[in-house]
Amino acid sequence: MAERANPAFAGGIVGVSVVALAYAVTVGTVQTHTFVHVMAGLLWTGTDLFLGAILGPVIGGLSEEQSAAVFERLTPKTAFFLPWMALVTIAGGITLAQRLGMFPNAEPWLALFTAVNLIPVLLLLGWRLNAWSDRRWQVTFAVATAGSLAWVATTIGQFQMTTPAIVVALVLVTILSVQGFGFLMPGEVRMYFEMISEDPDPGIISAIGQQNAKLGGVQGLFQLALILDMVYLRYGGF
């Protein structure tokens, strides 16, 4: 996938994302932390809205062969770009809220958030990629499920209500994560496998690509709702 995306592009996305997030969380100022979180969110939201509102309708008017040709060039890049923008946005936002004191009683909530995200996403990945019988998926699912539920069990006794806007944000992020990592990402993987098969079917690539573009638009709408919630959290009203 990285080869098709361009190794420099793929490596750059991963490297810049990791360095920016690590710097913001560890030694960066609050302003730097905010900038990294907001810029990643803008790039994530803007790309999803572009895919759903602009690219999707354009692709819908093309033939299967033309549509497949677009997705063969686009998908390897979005497969790296969108997940890393999502990860930086989510991780940066949670750590920023904790840093600013806007996320009281965080640990039990984060334990629940982790379990509610990891378990459905891994189940969807196994289903969408037909991997439930794959030993690697089984081990990953078992470890992730046991680990996340153990964290819930050890923190549930400390559970208290947190800021309502944070609860809304966690719900919206869960929806985005399950859609993104449970539906969009496996769709991109399936397109990639079709692309590198001995006899690629443009119809399959086009159909999955258009489904992903539509879902990207839905993601963008949820992201706009999340931005609205973040504005309310930061400024206490409209």
CA 84 to chain centre: 7
pTM: 0.90
Q: At what angle do helices 64-99 and 7-26 cross, to 10 degrees?
A: 10
Q: Are residues 59 and 152 in the same domain?
A: no
Quote the CA–CA distance of 132 and 124 in Å, as a whole number.
Answer: 10
Quote the CA–CA distance of 230 and 225 in Å, as a whole number.
Answer: 9
- pLDDT by position in tens, the chain (length 238): 778 888 899 899 999 999 999 999 999 999 999 999 999 999 999 998 888 888 888 888 888 889 889 888 888 899 999 999 999 999 999 999 999 999 999 999 999 999 999 999 999 999 999 999 999 999 999 999 999 999 999 999 999 999 899 999 999 999 999 999 999 999 999 998 998 888 889 999 989 988 888 888 899 899 999 999 988 887 765 4
Residue with tokens 């920023």: 96
Question: With the CA atoms of 167, 171, 174 and 176 taken in that order, what torsion angle do they form, in degrees rounded to the nearest 10?
Answer: -120
| DSSP class per residue in 88-102 | HHHHHHHHHHHHTT-
Q: Are residues 95 and 189 in the same domain?
A: yes
Quote the CA–CA distance of 33 and 38 in Å, as a whole number.
Answer: 9
pLDDT tens sequence across 22-57: 999 999 999 999 999 999 999 999 998 888 888 888
Q: Are residues 156 and 79 in the same domain?
A: no
Do 153 and 200 touch, CB atoms closer than 8 A?
no
Amino acid identity of 28? G
Beta-carbon count within 10 A of 235 CB: 8
Range of the domain at 111: 105-161
Q: Are residues 80 and 92 in the same domain?
A: yes
Tell me the CA distances in angstroms from 191 to 63, 78, 165, one per residue in order: 17, 12, 37
Q: Are residues 179 and 215 in the same domain?
A: yes
Q: Are residues 93 and 117 in the same domain?
A: no
Report the number of distinct structural domains present in the chain.
Answer: 2
Quickly list H helices, 100-159: 106-128, 135-155
Structure tokens at 229: 């919630």
Q: Are residues 68 and 126 in the same domain?
A: no
Q: What is the pLDDT of residue 20?
A: 97
Quote the CA–CA distance of 149 and 115 in Å, as a whole number.
Answer: 6
Which domain-ending residue is among 161, 180, 205? Answer: 161
Amino acid identity of 205? I
Quote the CA–CA distance of 229 and 238 in Å, as a whole number.
Answer: 10
Q: What is the pLDDT of residue 54?
A: 86
Quote the CA–CA distance of 143 and 132 in Å, as a whole number.
Answer: 14
Do 76 and 8 touch, CB atoms closer than 8 A?
no
Q: Are residues 99 and 17 in the same domain?
A: yes
Quote the CA–CA distance of 174 and 154 in Å, as a whole number.
Answer: 21
Quote the CA–CA distance of 101 and 137 in Å, as a whole number.
Answer: 37
